Amino acid sequence: MDKTFDPRAIEARWRDTWERSGWFAPQGSGAPYSIMIPPPNVTGTLHMGHAFQHTIMDSLTRYHRMRGDDTLWQPGTDHAGIATQMVVERNLKLAGSSRLDLGREKFVEKVWEWKKYSGDTIENQIRRMGSSVDWSRKAFTMDPSYSEAVIEHFVRLHEDGLIYRGKRLVNWDPVLQTAISDLEVVQEEKDGKLWHFRYPLAGSARTQDGLDYIVVATTRPETMLGDTAVAVHPEDERYKHLIGRKVKLPLSDREIPIVGDDYVDREFGTGCVKITPAHDFNDYALGQRHKLPIINIFTHTAAINDEAPAAYRGLDRFEARKRVVADLEAQGLLAKIDDHKLKLPIGDRSGVVVEPYLTDQWFVDLTRKTLDDGRPGGWTAITEPAIHAVEGGSIKFVPENWSNTYFHWLRNIQDWCISRQLWWGHRIPAWYDADGNIYVARNEAEVRSKYQLPDDLPLRQDEDVFDTWFSSDIWPLATLGWPQETPELKKFYPSSVLVTGFDIIFFWVARLVMMGLKLHGDVPFREVYVHGLIRDSEGQKMSKSKGNVLDPLDLVDGISLDELLKKRTTGLMKPETAPKIEKATRKDYPAGIEAVGVDALRYTFASLASPGRDIRFDFSRAAGYRNFCNKIWNATSYVLMNCEEQDPNPDGQAWLSEADRWIISRLQKVEAEAAEHFRSYRFDLLAQTLYQFVWNEYCDWYLELTKPTLRGDNDSAKRGTRRTLLRVLEAILRLLHPLMPFVTEDLWQRVAPLAGKAGPTIMLQPYPTAQPEKIDETAEADVEWLKAFILGVRQIRSGMDISPKITLPLLVQDAAAADAERIARLAGSITALTNVQEPLLLAAGEEPPVSATSLLGSMKILVPMAGLIDKEAELARLRKKKAQTESDLAKNLARVSSEKFVNGAPPEVLERERARIAQQRQELAALNEQIGKIEAL
RNA sequence: GGGUGCUUAGCUCAGUCGGUAGAGCAUCGCCCUUACAAGGCGGGGGUCGACGGUUCGAGCCCGUCAGCACCCA
């Protein structure tokens, strides 16, 4: 066995073996267990969040597979319409080309090339992390069969009257030139201005103060070119007499009405609001109420169009704003400019301000109770069942409180705009004839037969594609073969759990539930495990533009500072931020990043996966778990060294020591805890429990305790210890395997045969379960006593600064019968672990020599001081102990002297408290006596 | 404005049933002891954000406030 654990070699060895052997595919006769991967976008590479999420899913998958469940982890990727199209467009731009240069067909070919590259990268990353997905079922949201399912999805909803096409105000991204949904718009607060303009009153109208104009306040002056009214509050004393009169809209030379509407906030601005129905959601609604004309003044790129006065045509919206303000000022119509904080709607992909824009789009009805023809509307048929599924417990959120987020969104849901003016995505299966009639069916042939159209009637398919989420919302169905009733669909739907981030509860989780129920009549999963976000060590979100991203594989393999700098500073959207990023990177990783291996990285993620909490990624944790892997490696090395070919008769009679029975007993409890932690998705506690058991109990104590036995000459005891060493280690490897698959597999191959286990892989071995009959409280108590005894001796040695090489004499005073019995029984362990001579029991009343002392209950552990010990050091040690004891005692005395406590606390608490006090008094007396003796020297 | 979460050791975080606060990393001392120096042994380090309430007893339950983060409008 190699001297040191080398993750790279181990990982390479097992990755391929597992996959080639077909062990990732569902098998086993147990209950079906399935997880659908949230398909990563083919926009590039996987980040830390994916690695984290995949660690959790793989741990669950491996755990259930080991439990014998028929386990499927379904892999795949998402075409991610807008996001991927943007990436490819950016690449084209760098190459001096553009989407429009290429044309649709060629462009889509380019995207497919990119998809191949990105998809392969992602697959490779998933493989590297040890994720045991069933590659034979790999899916992509634009696979032919998947596309068919998406079309089926649309057509069925359409047939149920739940899809409509309409001219609506939608969020328009002027850079991407497509509609986007409400969810794809983020509100950002910015410092802006509030401009006050004078709008002249038409005819003889005058304000109360006799002025011939009113002042409107706006944050968007350029939209005044599309104003079709000014609104005031109907009960606003200042203006209500003007309702029904008109103003002369400056610059455009149109007369527009003054309307009264209680949407107007009298306190805000001047109380007069300019109304632009074509470019503001509130104004649009108000316009509908007052039957105002709608004047669209923008082109698709948010430049001013020909509806506006000639002077402004062709200007970009921000240029137009400047011009409008300047022109109004020149005409003396600019009253004032205030500073103002405003919320800007930003496209989450393009990062530019989106415009409310009037276009024809496809929508899913999610809000109507009943359709005009009496059939159930979207609210009844889609939204409400999704709410009920969680209310009624068919789906459980973990942690539970995320269900509130889910409910809140669904209860306030809007209809969903599902068409996108993109080239990359599923074409909408709708056709138009020359008169603009719309036909929806699965393909053109079906359209003709369904609507009985003549063969020669020219039809044109809709140019638009679906919102990506409209295809991913059937992921669990489509990957299992829906709309066909495949055996896989029957077996693995609903899936067991969805592992996902809270950021896509709306985008994806809610829609999965809605469509799963609508299209297949059952929920898509039983539980939703919602994990936190991975942040950097400062708590910042990781993003390329901040330059704080980490590639999980760079932690696995390590990376030099130069390489890391290069990765972080090339291809930036804003190259000017590079120096800042470089500085921060040099500070955080002055020597680059050391390799920790996959297992350690996975263990780190698990240990930080506390519910309802984001993760600040801390490299030192990963380094710590790398050390943990090494620890396991070395412990195995010790076990093998002591067990391989050591016993000519390994099946002979075996006697189990206290230590053997103790570690076996502890193992049972750990196994029970592990099961509970898996059940409750507490990967952090699972990681902690196993770490603690392996390092602090198995390695620190048990392995040390086996040494004297194995050096001894009692064959039956040696056999018992060897057997225990092997069996517990073998169980440990299985316990750890879901979290750290590689090193456990590698070690298991060597340990298992010696532990009487056979099989080609640890992956298919049963996960250890507790056997309560092996719990041995007596052995546990013995070893706890032994540990306390040994600690007492070690404290003396360390406190006195005595070299570990010196074998100390050891006396024991005031030993109770039980202590004496234990000392006799466990003396071998004591002498071996503390380098002392056999402890000598002092008879009652026998006066010991002056000694350094530790207390264990009423018993004193004594190391004679003659020639060894620094008097002052021992005094200091004893006085410190005394001070501690006195302080504890005082606190406890205060408590029991309180009448309230005595009367109120349950008897067993009172009893425990009194026992504690007695114990502390005894200790204090012993300490005082000892201090006195040493002082007298 | 509404909502959610967080605040515990220098740092990153656990803390289950309300019963004297734990881990890793960092730190200090001793030690290259035959599994492991990526290590062993021992130690130090806490007003559990603040205030109030409930309780015999509060890190934990309730209320108010402060700070931070996120979501929604």
Residues 445-474 of A with CB under 7 A from strand B: none
Q: Which pLDDT score, from 0 to 100, does residue A325 have?
A: 83
Q: Which pLDDT score, from 0 to 100, does residue A868 have?
A: 64
Question: In the predicted model, is pLDDT for residue A572 greater than 90?
Answer: no
Q: How far is the CA of A775 from the C1' of B43 (A)?
A: 34
User: What number is the average pLDDT over the span A625-654?
Assistant: 88
The amino acid present at A6, given as its one-letter code, is D
Q: Which pLDDT score, from 0 to 100, does residue A272 have?
A: 83
Q: Residue A435: phi, psi to the nearest 5?
A: -90, 0
Q: Which pLDDT score, from 0 to 100, does residue A522 have?
A: 93
Question: In the predicted model, is pLDDT for residue A191 greater than 80?
Answer: no
* A504: its two tokens: 């896509």
Residue closest to sugar C1' of B20 by CA: A888
8 A C-beta contact, residue A846 and residue A796? no
Protein-proximal nucleotides of chain B (any atom < 7 Å from a CB): 3-6, 11-16, 19-20, 23-26, 29-31, 33, 35-36, 38-44, 55-57, 68-73
8 A C-beta contact, residue A776 and residue A669? no
Of A874 and A775, which is predicted with more confidence?
A: A775
* A674: its two tokens: 């592990």
Residue A465 pLDDT grade (very low, low, confident, very high; cuts 50, 70, 90): very high
- Tens-digit pLDDT profile for residues A46-85: 889 899 999 999 999 999 999 999 999 999 999 998 889 9
Q: How far is the CA of A906 from the C1' of B18 (A)?
A: 13
Indicate the helix (H) or strand (E) that contains A791: helix A777-800
| Residue linked to tokens 């018993």 | A859
Q: Which pLDDT score, from 0 to 100, does residue A469 have?
A: 92
Task: Say which range, A346-355, A364-373, A419-428, A619-628, has the weakest mean pLDDT.
Answer: A346-355
Q: How far is the CA of A621 from the C1' of B7 (A)?
A: 22
Residues 494-523 of A with CB under 7 A from strand B: 502-503, 506
8 A C-beta contact, residue A737 and residue A745? yes
8 A C-beta contact, residue A194 and residue A219? yes
List for chain A the helix, strand, coil content (%; round to 5). Answer: 50, 15, 35
User: What number is the average pLDDT over the span A211-235?
Assistant: 85
User: What number is the average pLDDT over the span A698-725?
Assistant: 94
- Could you check: is the Cβ of residue A282 within 7 Å of any atom of nucleic acid strand B? no
* A493: its two tokens: 């739907």
Task: Say which range, A37-46, A124-133, A214-223, A810-819, has the weakest mean pLDDT.
Answer: A214-223
Q: Which pLDDT score, from 0 to 100, does residue A582 have?
A: 85
User: What number is the average pLDDT over the span A365-374?
Assistant: 92
Q: How far is the CA of A799 from the C1' of B28 (A)?
A: 13
Q: Which pLDDT score, from 0 to 100, does residue A215 have?
A: 86
Of A11 and A235, which is predicted with more confidence?
A: A11
Q: What is the largest CA-CA distance in chain A?
A: 120
Between CA A276 and CA A226 the distance in angstroms is 6
Between CA A280 and CA A355 the distance in angstroms is 8
Question: In the predicted model, is pLDDT for residue A571 greater than 80?
Answer: no
* A591: its two tokens: 């020597």
Q: What is the percent of chain A where pLDDT is above 90?
A: 50
- Could you check: is the Cβ of residue A905 within 7 Å of any atom of nucleic acid strand B? yes
- Could you check: is the Cβ of residue A892 within 7 Å of any atom of nucleic acid strand B? yes
Query: Helix (H, G, I), strand (E, B), or coil: what is residue A880?
Result: helix
Q: DSSP assignment, residue A312? A: G
Question: In the predicted model, is pLDDT for residue A719 greater than 70?
Answer: yes
On the 0-12 / 13-18 / 19+ scale of CB atoms within 10 A, A41 is buried
Q: Which pLDDT score, from 0 to 100, does residue A801 have?
A: 84
Q: Which pLDDT score, from 0 to 100, does residue A213 have?
A: 84
Between CA A796 and CA A590 the distance in angstroms is 42
Q: How far is the CA of A214 from the C1' of B20 (A)?
A: 73
Residue closest to sugar C1' of B5 by CA: A612
Of A555, A641, A596, nearest in space to A5 by CA: A596
8 A C-beta contact, residue A123 and residue A154? no
The amino acid present at A824, given as its one-letter code, is A
Q: How far is the CA of A800 from the C1' of B34 (A)?
A: 27
Distant-in-sequence, close-in-space partners of A617: CB < 8 Å, separation ≥ 6: A48, A534, A535, A536, A537, A550, A604, A608
| Residue linked to tokens 């097992």 | A14
Of A346, A358, A361, nearest in space to A466 by CA: A361
- For the beta sheet containing A430-432, the strands, ordered from the edge strand earlier in sequence to the opposite edge, are A438-440, A430-432, A460-461
Between CA A277 and CA A223 the distance in angstroms is 10
Q: Which pLDDT score, from 0 to 100, does residue A898 have?
A: 81
Of A541, A531, A553, nearest in space to A683 by CA: A531
Residues 563-622 of A with CB under 7 A from strand B: 608, 610, 612-616, 618, 620-621
Q: Residue A257: phi, psi to the nearest 5?
A: -80, 160
Beta strand A534-535 pairing with A615-616: parallel
With vertex at residue A719, the alpha carbon angle to CA A714 and CA A724, rounded to the nearest 5 degrees, is 130
Q: In whole numbers, what is the pLDDT of chain A averaged over residues? A: 89
Angstrom CA distances, A819 to A706, A782, A860, A863, A921, stand at 22, 10, 11, 17, 20
Strand partners, A170: A357
Q: What is the dihedral of CA A533, A539, A544, A547, to 10 degrees?
A: -160
Residues 149-208 of A with CB under 7 A from strand B: 182-183, 186-187
* A502: its two tokens: 């809270």
Prediction ipTM score: 0.94
Between CA A47 and CA A567 the distance in angstroms is 13
Between CA A230 and CA A900 the distance in angstroms is 72
Global confidence as pTM: 0.90
Q: Which nucleotide is nearest to A881 (CA to C1')?
A: B43
Angstrom CA distances, A44 to A83, A132, A471, A578, stand at 10, 21, 20, 21
8 A C-beta contact, residue A510 and residue A409? yes
- Tens-digit pLDDT profile for residues A879-898: 888 888 888 888 888 888 88
Distant-in-sequence, close-in-space partners of A904: CB < 8 Å, separation ≥ 6: none
User: What number is the average pLDDT over the span A604-618?
Assistant: 87
- Tens-digit pLDDT profile for residues A427-442: 999 999 989 899 999 9
Question: In the predicted model, is pLDDT for residue A133 greater than 90?
Answer: yes
First to last CA, chain A: 55
Strand partners, A534: A615
Q: Which nucleotide is nearest to A703 (CA to C1')?
A: B35
- Tens-digit pLDDT profile for residues A540-560: 788 777 778 888 999 999 999
- Could you check: is the Cβ of residue A531 within 7 Å of any atom of nucleic acid strand B? no
Q: Which pLDDT score, from 0 to 100, does residue A181 have?
A: 82
Between CA A835 and CA A4 the distance in angstroms is 28
- Could you check: is the Cβ of residue A902 within 7 Å of any atom of nucleic acid strand B? no
Between CA A768 and CA A756 the distance in angstroms is 15
Distant-in-sequence, close-in-space partners of A759: CB < 8 Å, separation ≥ 6: A752, A765
